[in-house]
Structure 1
Amino acid sequence: MRVGLFIPCYVDQFYPRAAIATLQLLEKLGVEVVYPKNQTCCGQPMANSGFEYLTGGCNNLFIENFEEFDYVVCPSGSCVLHIKHHLHSTANEAAAVALRDKVYELTEFMTDILKVEKLEATFPHKVGLHQSCHGQRGLHLSQMTELVADDFSKPRQLLNMVEGLELMTLDRKDECCGFGGTFCVAEEAVSVKMGQDRVADHLKHGVEYITSADLSCLMHMEGILHRQGSKVNVIHIAEILNGSKN
C-alpha cells in the first residue's frame, strides 16, 4: 500500500520530531510512505472559528496532494476528524467524499488497518495517557466512560506493547484538557483551569511523561507544566511507539 503522510501545520512548526517518528514508525511496519511537499493547513482553525466558507483553497489543495494514495495517515486526531467531517469541494465533491474515507489517525491506522500485534519499542518510564476529545468522541479511538459498554482504547492497546512502559491509571481518564482549538483563546481562564485539573491528575499518579495522539492537547498541557516548573514532559505517542529511549 502507498500512504500519504499528512503532517498538520503546528506539528511541522513546533513538534517535527513527532512527524519524523510517524514516518519512521510506518516504514518499520512495512508501509510505503510519501510526504507531499506542497501540503499545508487542513483548514480546521478557520472552520472552528466559524469561517468554514474560507477553507475552499485548503480543501482543494488537500485533495490535490492526497487523492492518489491508498490511505492518508496523520499523527493528529483533531485534524483527521476535521477532514473526515468537513472536506468538500465544489470542483470535485466525489473526490472529496472518497478521500474522507481514506484518512486515518496514526493509532487507528495501526490497529484497524495494519493490525499491529507486536512492536519493537522500549520506553522505561511511567506514562499518563491523555485521550483527547476529538480522538475519543469523534474518531472513537477509545470508549467513553459514561457509556455502559466494553472498555477499549487503541492508543492504550499499542502502548501496552512497549517494553518497560508503565501506564498509570488516572482518576478521570477521559476528561478534556481544555485546549479546544480557538476555545483556549476565546475562553482563556476556563481553558487554563481545565488544563490545570487535567495535569494535576497525571501528577497525582506520578507520571514522568504525558502522551497522547493529539499534540494540540499536549502543547496546552506542556505550557501549564512549564509554568508550574514541573519536570514532567509531554511526548507524542508516535515517538514512544517508534522506540524512543529518553
Structure 2
Amino acid sequence: MPDEPDTSFAPLYTRVMLKISGEALMGDQGYGLHPPTVERIAREVKSVHDLGVEICMVIGGGNIFRGLQGSAQGMERTTADYMGMLATVMNALAMQSALEGIGVFTRVISAITMNEVAEPYIRRRAVRHLEKKRVCIFAAGTGNPFFTTDTAATLRANEMNCEAIFKGTKVDGVYDKDPKKHADAKRYETVTYDEVLSQHLGVMDASAIALARENDLPIIVFSLDEPGGFRGILAGRGTYTRVS
C-alpha cells in the first residue's frame, strides 16, 4: 500500500492562484512541452489539492511563443500577443490532461472564446467550479494584447478571491541579484510591493505588482523544482519569499 498523504495539518490558505511560466513546462528542452515535467508539476498540484485547497492556475506561453519576442522581430504587437495567448491555451490543455490523468477534475477557462476546447470566462461559473474542488486553469491571459500572464494571474486571483498568488520559479525566492550567476546573492524572506518595483526585482511585471498591492494580495515566490515545495509552504515550512 502506498503511503497516504499527510493531511494532519490545516493549510495556511484555502484558495490560491498558482502562476507558472510556459518555460517551466519544457524541462531541459529548449522549446515546447516535456511531458514528464508537465506530469511532475501536475503531481505537485494534486498534493495540494488533496489537502482540500481550491486551486486556480495561470500558465504562460513562452515555451511556444512569446508576444514581445515576435513584436521585437517585426511582427505587429497585437497579432504577436494574440498568438502568445493561443500558446497559453495549448499549455493549459496539456496541464488539464496531466491532472485528469491522476484523478484531479479540472476546467480550462479561456478569455478568448473557443467553445470546442475550453469554457468562456464567466466569473460566477468559475467560482462554482472552485467550490466543487475543480482546478480552474485560466488560459489566454486577460484576452487583451499588451497584458502579460502575470497581470492575468493577478486579475483572476482577485476576481476569484484567492488568498495568495504562488509564483513558481527556478529559484527558491526573490534575490537581490541572479543567484545562479552571483554566489553572494541575498535572498529576501519578505519584501514589499514598493521595493519590488523600485529595485526592479523582477518578481512580476509592474502592472501585476500594482494590482496585487492595491488589493493587499500577497505573492509567494518559491521553487517549482523543489519536490513537495508547493505543499510544504501550505504546511508552514519550506523556503520562499513573501511579497506583501
TM-score, scaled to structure 2: 0.33
TM-score, scaled to structure 1: 0.32
Larger helix percent: 1
